[in-house]
Structure 1
Amino acid sequence: MYVVRPVETADIPALESLAAVTIPGLHTLPRSRDKIVMAVERSLASMAAQVDIPSEESYLFVLESVEERRICGTAAIFASAGSNGTYFSFRNDVIQQVSRDLNICHSVHALTLCSELTAYSHLSSFYVAPEVQKGPEAALLSRSRLLYAAQHPRRFGDRFFVPLAGVTDDDGQSPFWNAVGRKFFKMDFLDAERVIGGARNRTLIVELMPHYPVYVPLLPGDAQAAMGQIHPSGELAFNLLTAEGFEADEYIDIFDGGPILQAHKHALRTFTSSQKLRVRTGVARTREGPLFNYAVSNDDSAAFRAVAIPCPDLEGCDAVALSPEIQDILRVAEGDSVTCVRI
């Protein structure tokens, strides 16, 4: 059995271990102990805060094996991207070029530096250990942060986005960065990720990134091919997010050209399909029809818990059967309210 819960101070050593096995240059965990400690403390403070308008809060969740008390994954959500500045990305644009004299009209793909994702809620730091990637736990982890957002709408914006890591070679170099960013920042991709990668709202980007459209046909072929492509390690996250309702193609990351998925909350299944049900003590059984995996969470902000359970289709039900063991994990009792969504 696995549970998703808010991060705790005691998890810091485990997060250090997870950060050590993630790939440099990817949008996952902070890599230094100091930054991990800052992320944990910020999450704890955000969970405890009374929030009416989303701002600098961030919420970090972990996937834990209940039996082994071992951390197997992480997922985070920032309440408002660029809360202390501006969040920058490249927008995919089409520029029409027309010559009446030559009777030529054609479209040119261009990238425009923009700040349109500023104030969107930002999903980040998704990592699942290999041993649980093929089960429902990965979907539970990805979905749980949205369940939390659905339960606490004042803490988050109406729109969400997720940057996914782009293509890099065996040396960790990005063909897109080498063709664009390196020309302006005069540093390698991994150096850029370390120096400014976590600060896409900083003045460095305003000062150095091109403010005019970048014409894609002028870029080298490998840079064009990398645009909007996902690093192999991001395929699981991409599949989970597109199944949730996120869409790609409109924005790409200014560093590695990876896709940025975005959606309004009303397009996301967690917001449109989740339902509040009453807890009934028992074990899910059905004589007709299949069992489905559901994410089930309590409604406690500070003590949020979510698990995945198999049960019959809950459409039209007013209660969900939970064993005493599951109730203990979720910290609920018979008659309490829980939020359920099919995964």
Structure 2
Amino acid sequence: MMVVRPIQAEDYTALRELARKTGPGFTSLQDNDTQVAAKLEAGLAAFSASPPLAEALYLFVMEETETNEVVGICGIESAVGLSEPWYNYRVGTLVHASRELKVYNQINTLTITNDHTGYSELCTLFLSPDARHSKNGSLLSKSRFMFLAEFPQRFNEHLIAEMRGYSDENGISPFWEGLGRHFFSLDFTEADRHSSMNKVFIAELMPKNTIYTNLLPKEAQEAIGKTHEATTPARRLLENEGMRYTGYVDIFDGGPTLEARIHDIRAVQESQYVKAHIADLPSEGELYLISTTEFSNFRCCMSPITRVSKNLVTVSPDVASALNINEGSTIRIVPLSSGRRF
């Protein structure tokens, strides 16, 4: 059984191995010893700090309970842009018109902004290729909504998620090649690596004026708001939960930023508390997200349940073991799939 839990110091080796598999464009977890160590340290600090950190990185891993193998990672930033600037482009429209010449042109533009400063962010979602089956990706991603539902006071009411932008089979980003390279004189992977460690150089080199997208190569224009093929399922999952693209894109690869109010997310809004009755269950049935109410010992898994009454559900002994709960423990549940109701 897969369970999502807070990261621990002992997970460094597994985290480092996951970082080797992410590939170009995955800014938040790169094949870099320094970044991985810093990521782990930040994750540990978030769960141990008292009072809560203003910019906390709540980092979780997915673990196979039978083998104790870590196969995935996900995270939530409590707030972005408070100590370092948070940049993205806002996609806009300008109209150039002349009644006398009978000319009317709508031109798309890119304007650099810090509009999402202070927002909470879903981040660092990566699942090992060998584990991409049996709805494990849904569990890994949506487990964060259960944590947000349980501890909303630790987050901003607004949530964003930056989607990895389009790059070709060689890992080349046409958006970067058509725009960013002219100002940074760096390969995409090199600039991306720098941005994950220090964003100051972005402010120093990025153009401050509005950019007319019709001046960019066609390939760069088409990449604006386009998601990397490997990230498209993650985008659809978040959109099914209520997150939406509102015209903001990443300054490096043009990938879309999704937004929502946390309370409006389906899994947050519809989740509810119940008591757990532990007994054997059929292995098939509608899958539910099931999470605990503890902070540092937070756990989340997915499994069929049987409703005994409005406030009591039956969970299997395997679920109870994975969540470290006992008979009568309070748990939070919600159907794994959007579009389902209790």
Structure 2: distance between partners of 1:98 and 1:11: 59
Match of 1:170 in 2: 169
Deviation at 1:174, TM superposition (A): 1.2
Alignment of 1:24 with 2:24, yes or no, is: yes
Deviation at 1:236, TM superposition (A): 2.3
Alignment of 1:263 with 2:257, yes or no, is: no
Match of 2:317 in 1: 324
Is this contact kept in 1: 2:20–2:30, CA < 8 A?
no
Change (3 A) 1:306 1:113: same
Structure 1: distance between partners of 2:313 and 2:51: 30
Match of 2:293 in 1: 299
Is this contact kept in 1: 2:86–2:117, CA < 8 A?
yes
Further displaced range: 230-239 or 32-41: 32-41
Report the aligned-residue RMSD: 2.0
Equivalent position SS for 2:116: coil
Match of 1:157 in 2: 156
Is this contact kept in 1: 2:122–2:159, CA < 8 A?
yes
The residue identity in structure 2 corresponding to 1:247 is R
Deviation at 1:304, TM superposition (A): 0.6
Using the size of structure 1 for normalisation, the TM-score is 0.92
Change (3 A) 1:45 1:197: closer
Match of 2:139 in 1: 140
Change (3 A) 1:315 1:128: farther
Deviations 1:210-230 (A, max 9, x none): 222111111111101111111
Match of 1:334 in 2: 327
Alignment of 1:7 with 2:11, yes or no, is: no
Deviation at 1:253, TM superposition (A): 0.5
Using the size of structure 2 for normalisation, the TM-score is 0.92
Deviation at 1:33, TM superposition (A): 2.5
Match of 2:276 in 1: 279
Equivalent position SS for 2:20: helix
Deviations 1:147-198 (A, max 9, x none): 1111111111111111111122333221111111111111111110112245
Alignment of 1:207 with 2:204, yes or no, is: yes
Equivalent position SS for 1:196: helix
Match of 1:308 in 2: 302
Is this contact kept in 1: 2:28–2:196, CA < 8 A?
no
Q: How many residues align?
A: 336
Further displaced range: 170-179 or 212-221: 170-179
Match of 2:339 in 1: none
Deviation at 1:146, TM superposition (A): 1.8
Deviation at 1:316, TM superposition (A): 7.8
Q: Which runs of 5+ in 1 are unaligned?
A: none
The residue identity in structure 1 corresponding to 2:141 is S
Further displaced range: 169-178 or 146-155: 169-178
Structure 2: distance between partners of 1:315 and 1:217: 60
Alignment of 1:191 with 2:190, yes or no, is: yes
Change (3 A) 1:315 1:177: farther
Deviations 1:17-58 (A, max 9, x none): 111122122234232233222212211111122346x62210
Structure 2: distance between partners of 1:225 and 1:326: 45
Is this contact kept in 1: 2:308–2:314, CA < 8 A?
no
Q: Percent identity?
A: 32
Pick aligned residue for 2:213 from 211, 216, 235: 216
Deviation at 1:284, TM superposition (A): 4.3
Alignment of 1:92 with 2:86, yes or no, is: no
Deviations 1:262-289 (A, max 9, x none): 1111221121111111111224469xxx
Match of 2:236 in 1: 239
The residue identity in structure 1 corresponding to 2:153 is R
Equivalent position SS for 1:328: helix
